[in-house]
Structure 1
């Protein structure tokens, strides 16, 4: 699975970068669904915004979060994304009867 990391108005630390990579590896469980993931981190004033856009064959899933800490903002967005992805996976499994 490929993903793109985009940062706006700041340079991410190596720790933040590796944390994002680690979380993206956890999404391999849904590899059959995922085509591409884009992680966007933005500095807006003193707030950090995290947005994760996940593209599947038929859907686009977006999760956003804002916090003073970029790690927390990313973790919150990741948690929202994973929840949405689990729901999508369950719907597909129920529909296909597997």
Structure 2
């Protein structure tokens, strides 16, 4: 089974303001990008399961020139809140590495 870590050369996650997180998936070439960027395994339900995001608010933005998929979703709590565990969201991408793409 192909996993995200097998087809992406780089993943990163970061703040997209105090209420949103953005994850960038840089695929290892145009073929991988075209084959996987619209895969249902990377759909809104995945972000509901992994991050507790409302699927109706998950946004997918493919960037063909960079062979990249940008996914944004609302944070479970505002940045810097009392329950904050990753202030800059720099480690959020890790949960995606072993997602199976089929």
TM-score normalised according to structure 1 size = 0.32
TM-score by length of 2: 0.31
Q: Which has the higher helix share?
A: 1
Q: Which has the larger radius of gyration?
A: 1
Larger RCO: Structure 1 or Structure 2 (Cα < 8 Å, ≥ 6 residues apart)? Answer: 2
